[in-house]
Structure 1
Amino acid sequence: MRIDINKSFDHIDEIISFQDKIAKKKLVANTYRVKAILQYFTSKFPEALESLNNALKIDNALKDNSGIGKDLSTMGLVYMAQSKFPEALRCYLAALTKFDAKKDELDIAATNSNIGTIYNEMGNLSQAMENYQKSYVIHKKHKNYINQVNTLTNMASIFYKKKDLNEAIKYSKLSLKLADSIADLGAIARESGNLSGYYSHQMQPDLALTYGLKATEINKKLKNKRSLAYNYVNVSSAYYKKEDYKQSKIYGLMAYNIGKELNITEITRDASLGLSEVYEAVKMPDSALFYHKAFYKFADSIGSDKKKTEITRMGIQYDFDKKELSYQQKQSLADAQLKQQSLQLALNNAELQKTIQLRDLQRISLENEKLINQEKEKQLIIAKNKEKLQANRVNALSQAQKLNKLELKQLWLYGALAILVLASVIVYLINLYRIRQLRFKNTLQKQEALQNELLLKHQFQLTESELKAIRSQMNPHFIFNVLNSIESYVMDNDKRTASRLIQKFASLTRLILENSTKSLVSADREWKALKLYTELEAMRYNDSFTFNFYADEDLQLNTLLLPPMLVQPLIENAILHGLIGSRKPDSHLEVRLKKHDNGINITVEDNGTGIVNEPKANIKFGIKEKSMGLASIKERIAVINAQKNENVASFKITSKPETGTIASIFLPYFESAVA
């Protein structure tokens, strides 16, 4: 989030995409809250409030007070960024009622620090500093470096408003050093921008520019338009101090426009003041007056007495509510203690009655136990006589059972031996049969593998022969067309240009001859050959068209492999049948090489006559009358698909909506082993 905000958005959106499958809905609420913070950093304030409402809905359903407090506190941050201070304070105070004093100590400290910022904006500097100092102690205790950075920044702003620039710079540099130690790019950019403003007011414009331009570069990378606008205000002020009014006006207007776009009154207020001073310095009183009035208008909307009164009223109401809640809690505790004493008295009476009943019950139980013991003694004597008689009977029966068991065991032993011998014979026969079957299958598999190897070798040789035959048709065809171009230019132009044409053709011919011996060549060599051919055709037709070659930066052309002379017929057709025939003054050819999901995509695009509007009788140039290019491309595509054994390569040609043609070739990704 503090290094690459786009990647943060990707992770958050990925979680939200499967939020219905997440059992712990608290995690979903946390996700929406983090997304709101990302949107706050990128100045997407309405979207941030929408994400926070989603989080608040989930936390309310879960009755998670800590989550509700965090949602409300973050809402206050979004409102404060838009200079809506009463709304921000209302959210902060509501958040404090939800936090637990022990579990949420850090969140309470951060919220109180933000309330201090509201006091700061309203001019109550002593109350603001008190809030900052209390929060800083808690953040330092918990080693929360991010919030320590923010609190130091706020303290520096108090000293700045008190005209103590040395202390402001001291605290600001402490904040910058701590932000740099945790690699927080957002905080580094913010504090560099603040130092720019402090040095500007200290009449050190060079230092102000150094810090201000550093902050703008980081915020451009982070796409933080809100912070960028503050940076522009400070850079504009620095240029004004250096009497470079042109640059001061440029940065001031950029800040003013962003403030209007994001509807942030503080930015438009500060930018208006700076612009009024610049226009006054360059003797443009009307513009100076316009921005001076704008400054007072925006300043009044932020620090109006009505808003100050509302914020003060909410602060007093919050303190009153806290005292009222404390009184109610004490009263409830006293009532609970009185009820507990009454309950304890009733419980003691019940225990006394229970003790009396238990004593009577024990006396009756003791008499009953004596009678039971006498009856048990009689039953014990009878039971002993019965046991002796039963033991004699059991002994006789046991002897008979042992004799029967011994005979049964002998029969089982003989049966088990017979079954074991039979099972051994069957297992031996089965294993012998399986070994023979495995040997037979192994022999068959070896024969099939040998046949498949011979078949694949035959198919490869056949495919390679077809590819060589197609290349043998393609290369003479291309050379024939280029020689016609040279002949035409030599006949119509001066010797020097003709010599340049022949040199380029020599380089192109060498590339073609080297590439024609291979089925695949490196993309950088093929790309160079295509550019040379297009340059020759442009020279031949007196630069009657422009062209551009573009390859993706992600592609390594020296390791990527392409079939040679596959794209050249498309460029030739675009020039001869599209651009030259149209005779348009802005004729243009675009050749692009891009990555594709399953490989690479090569497109040749022109703004010529198009397929539908192509004249039936094209103008003939040189002695070329018949084009074999498209048929050759289709044959080579078929060969590539045959080698891959699937339809990975394709070719299509279509007309553009207005004028022109787009030809696309999709190829698998061939890559060499060594760069």
Structure 2
Amino acid sequence: MKIIVSFFIILFLSISTTISSQTKVIDSLNNELTIHKEKDTTRVNILYGLAIYNFQNDLETTKLHLKEAEDLSNEINYIKGKAKVLYLKGILESRKSNYKTSLDFFKGSLKHYESIDDQAGIAAVYNAFGITHFIQSEYDEAIFSYQKAFEIQKNQGKTSDVINSLLNIGNVFNETGRYDEAISNYKKALNHSVEINDETNIATINYNLSVLYKVQGNYPLAIETTNNSLEFKKTTGDTLGIAHILSNLGEIYTSIEKYDTALEYHKQSLNFALQKESKSLVATNYNNIGNYHLHKKEYPKALEYYNKSLEISQKINNIKQVVACFLNLGEINLLLNRPVIARENYVKANEISLKADKKDFVAYSFLGISETYIHEKKYKEALPFTQKGKKLSEELELLEPQKKASELLSEIYKYTNNYKKAFESLKQFKTLNDSLFNKENIEKITQLEFDYKYKQALDSASIRELKLTKIVDTTSLDLKKSQRNLLLGVIVFLVIVLILGTIIFFLRLRNEKSKSQNIEIEQKLLRSQMTPHFIFNSLSVLQGMILNKENKKAVFYLSKFSKLLRIILENSRDKIVLLDEELEAVNNYLELQNLEESQAFQYTILIDETIDSTLFKVPPMLIQPFIENAVEHAFKNQEDNRKIDIQLKYVNKKLICTITDNGIGIDAEKEPKKQHKKSLATTITSERLKVLSKDFNMKGSISIEDRKKYNAQGTIVTLVIPYKIDTV
């Protein structure tokens, strides 16, 4: 339950020019300033304009022009000039997270605007008030200020300003979990933006929607809208806006467990945030980098980043970030077997979240408190906190905490002997997990990544082609007849460059397709790991035991079944697992199947003395499908002397697993359905082994033979398993 904090792009200033047009405006204003030497209101406005247009990319120049504008406004007593200067000063302080100083500047600006009844200026200041309160999680004050600004702008009929107010009001509703109201305001703002073709606000609204989609677990749509916003921000040169979007992309990839990709985005965002002196965003990225190290089980590193984030967040009174840090510190301490300290952190997070009306964090803190009690085996104390967290998560339609709550409830009910509710909670956990990580979502995310990279490659190629064309055109005008051979050489060189670029592009395309194929195979594996047939049979056996009042046997059976189910779910999420864990799952499966007396069989698991199963790491779920085939199909019409032998050998640096039965033999299995089932397991495993052989740089293979060729009865499956040896 690693907590991440999202930022919304909120514009104090609506500058919708691109870098090139912005440069033209700055050049024009500089010319005017050079010509206009008089100390009057016109010169103040030129200086203020230069401060505004240098605001995004050159803070030092902004400060110089702002200081001159302030001095001149005071000298000639230009009230509107004083108001503008204080307003922009407030923005500069807010960008550095100095919120108290920022609010003082805004109050001074508001007094000046009110003294001359400048309604547009008053609305702008109220909007700035709202943004500053919003950042500090003071949502009631933020709503009040935004609505004041909205009413003034609505009366004035200024569509662009109305859009910003609707957007900001939507942000408050989003942060407080009122998602329907948030979406309503966003869509109103988006409709107005489309009507006036305001590309800046269209990009901003899409970004805010992407944050909302991420919270609701709709990751493909979140990635798509975020990438759209990022492209636009790059064209405008809004460095801080780019930093926020990169941070958000990192958070999305953390949610779908692509941690290395997430880390790259957070590092890029952190560099921009440090350049722009944005303390809030610096704290956010420290927190998210801490999440990366937590996932990697590098707990000292994670603690270092969480504490750095907490220190900055407390200094600037960023309530939201403070809560996130306490939640993450709670998780770290729980992993370090310090449940009391962990609970103290979760309780702090809960108290602050309730006070700030941060309902989503309230839900997470309830679940965190529950986990500390479960860790201490205090299940009765844990139950009410889990139920509160689950109820609140369902009200807010938050999938991730709903999934966590179902998992915790399953564990609580299991250890309080309420097996029916434990099984129901486990089913709900599986359903929620599938909704977050289903095949369709993964394919969409992979396709979006590829489309975005492809678009970047095309854009880059187009820019290079345009530059090269200009160079060729310019050069050709100056060339004389004696230079034709040189021109031909340049053209040949360019053709070679384009051909090489095309080859590189198609190699990358093939690599992306390979990744997609890998995802497809892993999804097929996940669906084939525990068949509905096996689950149905297991539950039927359990039902029979309960009806026959074989309570002890039923409890033992359910314990084995739940343990096997847990191991399979955990192993399926890892690319490699310890051989010891893989064999434990196999043993549990065989033990569970052998509990049904009518289907009893003998089995052995032999491991070569040269194999240390605690050091060998192998891909999960390679062995079980073939054992399941043996159990289900090998002993047709054979009631006695059923045997299954599993043996692992280490020969010539190859890890070889043989699965032998004394059943009817593979050649005797003629039924079409069984043939299809066995060929499906074999096909999926063969596809996996092809991919794994490349990943492990080690040959993997599979062969299935009828033992009659060795003058014996039954089937023998031979697996050459790719592996790694843990040297730690």
In the superposition, the TM-score normalised over structure 1's length comes to 0.49
Q: Taking CA–CA contacts closer than 8 Å with sequence separation of 6 or more, which of the two structures ends up with the larger relative contact order?
A: 2
In the superposition, the TM-score normalised over structure 2's length comes to 0.45
